[in-house]
Structure formats: structure tokens, C-alpha cells
Amino acid sequence: MARQIRKVVVIGANGAMGSGAGEVFAAAGIDTVFLARDHEKAREGRDRAIALAKSERIADHITLGSYDGDLGRTVPEADVVFEALAEDLPLKQKFFAEVDRLRRPNAIVATVSSGLSIAAMAEGRSEAFSRHFLGIHLFNPPNVIVGCEVIPHAGTAREVVDFVGELLEGPLGRKVVETADKPAFAGNRVGFKVLNEVAQLAAEHGVAFIDALVGPHTGRALSPLATIDLVGWDVHRAIVDNVFENTDDEARDSFALPDYMAVLIDSGHLGDKTPARGGFYRRVRDGKETKLYILDPARQEYHAASDVLTELPEFVLRMKKLNHVGRYRQAMGVLLEAPGWEADLLRTVILGYVSYGLNRVGDVVRRASDIDRIMGYGFNWAPPTVLVDLMGAKEAIAAIEAAKLPVPPVLEEHAKRGGKFFEEPNVDPGRFFVG
């Protein structure tokens, strides 16, 4: 069946994900309706889309509307209805009931949920709705971060999944991974395991030290705790709680939200979105200067960064120097061989990421390259197989065993086969490692 996408309706187009996704559709020249509670809110979404595209011309493909005034008129004309409301299941279900009633028989309905059950959202809906319903998980801001998950539930028609995959990969310029309908899907499951583990370690080792230890030199654009501040502590809690409550795998304990975070969230510390309170970091303007303060998790107070910053272990400095001149393999060798408890700690986190990520193959995704794609294109982290290639497969297995972590079957198979593990074309592996 030849489908064409001429019109997309975005529900919740005022939010970050709604306006960002709307920008992606409109940039491809698709007529996109931005719906929000009222026109003013929809206009805010359009303005954000203009800012993301850095062009007023993006608005040529955008029309505005409100739920009360325009849902009933625009949804029946839509080829795709894209829901980007808050992560609130009853709210989403209420809108989906309405969309079910209004949609054209062939229209695709997608949710941008970052981890709620797709099947639960489809519950109670007509069979036709269910066949055309799936998750499209974009990462913020989607005009820059092109990684994307497509999540069918058991009732989604294969034809719809394939079509949406082609639409996203083609005109919408995404790098797509199909994942199972499991808590947090693939990217957030693997990514937040690491982020929360580092947040747990911060209670014992301090924010500044642990965030620098697992810093950009280990293959990420942003250090882990700065990432949680950027994402928002409330979003972080929602994701790790969901995984902790609804999964039972080898790393379940890594998803337990640290107590100090629970306390601080209750008193309004949500990271960068609450700049006055802060998160792991707080930036205070002092005249022309911005002063950085860092959280002390034990006392739940902030100290000037200049008083807190600890010296990094010598092996970390060596890794950075090697990355600086492009010697990534040697930098990884330093990580594998460095003595001392700091190196043991870092190996546990990095090899834990490799082990946990590749162990999701067969569970959440089909192939190792799926995990690679979403971690590389979605999180801007060195994909697990890139780390394995730099370490050497046998060396990686030995190090994973030494850290008392489970060796993923796909890694064992790869080690027997030999050759390069990372197979995503047109990616410079060096781009992930900061000097």
C-alpha cells in the first residue's frame, strides 16, 4: 500500500519534544499542525521551531491550533498524529480516545514517550487504532540529535513499523533503531543505568571527583552528572523508577534512585531547569562572572567549585593527553592497565556499560549495532563496540570478567569471529573521545 505523508498533527506542540518533532516534520516540507491548549501556546511551539531551524521559513509549513477549537477539524485530515504530551498515562489515554474517534482509517498515531508502555497506551482503543499505533522516541533537541527509537507494541502492523522506519530514515534524516516495548526502551535503559550508577557513586566519592573520573575522556560529549542536570532530575527519576519497578535484570540495583536525590527533588532541585536551586551543579551570576557551585550529596549543600575540585588520578591525565593527539587505542589501553582503586572504579563503570549494553541484545534490540546506533546518535557516547574495538575483544572480555560483570554472548561470539565489531558506516569513532 503506497502511503504518503502530507499532513502531520502534533499534539502538545508547545513542549520541547512537541516543537522539536514538529520542526523535524516541517523541515522536510510536510504540512504540520501545531496543537496546544490554546493558540498562544501553539505559537510558542512554532517560535521554538523557528529558533531550532534558525529560519522563519520553517513556519511556511506550520499552522497553529488549539485542542478545543481544532482537534476535531485537523485530526481527520492527518496522515500522522504525533502525541508529545507530558508523561502522564491517563492524560495520553484521554487524547488517544479522542484521536481514535476522529482519525482517518489509515492514519498512523505515534507517541514520543520516552519509556512508558506503548501497549498500555493502546489499551481500550479500536483494533484499527492499535494496528497503526507505535512509539517514536526522539532525543532533544531532535534537529541536532538524530538518533531515534521506533517502538511497536504487539498489535502494531508490520507494514506501519516499516513505513515509519523508512519515513524517519529518509526524508526526516533520523538514525533509527527498532526496540522492544520494554521500560525505557534501549537508549535510556542503557544510558540511565550508567548515569544513575554514577549518581549513586557520587554519594561516596563526591560529585566533582566521580563526574571528572567518568568524564568526556571516556567517550561522551558531556560528563554523566552534568547530563542528569541537563535532562532534569524529575525526568531522571521517572526513567530510573520505571526501570527499577518493571525490570529484573543483572543491573537492577543500579536503577535505585539515590536517597539524596529523592530528598532534593522534593525540595525543588531539578537540575538546569531550576537554576536558582541547581542540581549537581549550580551556577550563580556574580556581576559579569558566573560562579560554579557543586553539590555535596552527604550534607546536601553546595560548595564553590574552587574549594571542591580534586586532583585527577595520573592515569586520567594520560588518557586525556592521548585523546588530544588522536591515540584513542592507547588511551583505552591505559584505562585497562592502570593500577589503583580509581582505575578499578572507572573500569567497573565503563565495562559495566559495555556489558549491560551488549547484554540487551536479544532482549530489547536485535543486534549489537542497534545499541551502538542509539548510544552514538542518541546519547553522543562512544558505542559499546567502539570501546571493544579499541580495547581488543579478548582484552575486553578479560577486563569484564575481572570486574565480575557478565560477558555478553554477542561479545563472545564476536571474539571468536574476529575483525571489527563496530559496523555503523560513516562514523568517525574518534569523535566520541575528548582530550
Partner 1 sequence: MANEPIYVLGGHQTDFARNWSKEGKHISAMIREAVEGGLEATAIEPKEVEVGHVGNFAAELYSMQGHLGAFLLDVDPAFSGLPTARHEAACASGSIAILAASAEIEAGRYDLAMVVGVEQMKTVDPKTGGDYLGTAAWYENEAKGVEFPFPKLFGRLGDEYDKRFGLKDEHLAHISAVNYSNAKRNPAAQTRSWFMNEDHAKATGKFNQVIGGRIKVSDCSQVTDGAVSLFLASEKYASAYARRRGIDLARLPKILGWGHRTAPLQFDDKVAESRDNPYVLPHTRQAILDALRRAGLRDVFGVAAIETHDCFTTSEYMAIDHFGLTAPGESWKAIEEGVIEMGGKMPINPSGGLIGAGHPVGATGTRQVLDAWRQVTERAGDYQVEGAKKIATLNIGGSGTTSCAFVVGN
Q: Which residues sit at the interface with partner 1, rule CB under 8 A?
A: 23, 27, 53-58, 60, 143-144, 146, 173, 216, 320, 323-327, 425-428, 430-431, 433-435
Q: How far apart are CA 391 and CA 353, in angstroms?
A: 14
Report, in Å, the least distance between residue 428 CB and partner 1: 5
Residue 26 CB, nearest distance to partner 1 (Å)?
9
> Measured from the CB of residue 83, what is the shortest distance to partner 1 in angstroms?
24
**What burial class does residue 203 get, using C-beta atoms within 10 Å of its C-beta: 0-12 exposed, 13-18 middle, 19+ buried?**
middle
Give 287 or 425: the residue with its C-beta nearer to partner 1. Answer: 425
Q: Which residue, 267 or 426, has its beta carbon nearer to partner 1?
A: 426
Cis status of the peptide bond prior to 425, with omega within 30 of 0: no
Residues 23/55, Cβ–Cβ less than 8 Å: no
* Closest CB 424 distance from partner 1, rounded Å: 10
Of 414, 403, 400, the C-alpha closest to 369 is 414
Which C-beta is closer to partner 1: that of 143 or that of 242?
A: 143
Task: CB nearer to partner 1: give 170 or 268.
Answer: 170
> What 3-state class would DSSP assign to 257?
coil
C-alpha cell at position 228: 542528569
Least separation in angstroms between CB 54 and partner 1: 5
Report H helices in 133-215. 158-169, 187-205, 207-213
Query: Residue 228 Cβ, how far from partner 1 at the closest point, in Å?
Result: 21
Residue with cell 479522542: 98
Between β-strands 281-286 and 289-296, what pairing exists: parallel, antiparallel or unpaired? antiparallel
Find, among 378, 357, 367, the residue nearest to 138 by Cα: 378
Q: How far is the CB of 50 from partner 1 (least distance, A)?
A: 8
The whole-angstrom separation of Cα 312 and Cα 325 is 20
Nearest to partner 1 of 27, 400 (CB atom): 27
- How far lies 24's CA from each of 138, 176, 337, in Å? 10, 14, 45
CA distances from 201 to 76, 225, 266 (A): 51, 11, 21
Nearer to partner 1, 179 or 323 (CB): 323
Residue 143 or residue 355: which is nearer to partner 1 going by CB? 143
> Measured between alpha carbons, how far is 36 from 141 in angstroms, rounded to an integer?
19
- Which residue, 141 or 155, has its beta carbon nearer to partner 1? 141
Residue 221 beta carbon to partner 1: minimum distance, rounded to whole angstroms: 8
The enclosing H or E element of 108 equals strand 108-111
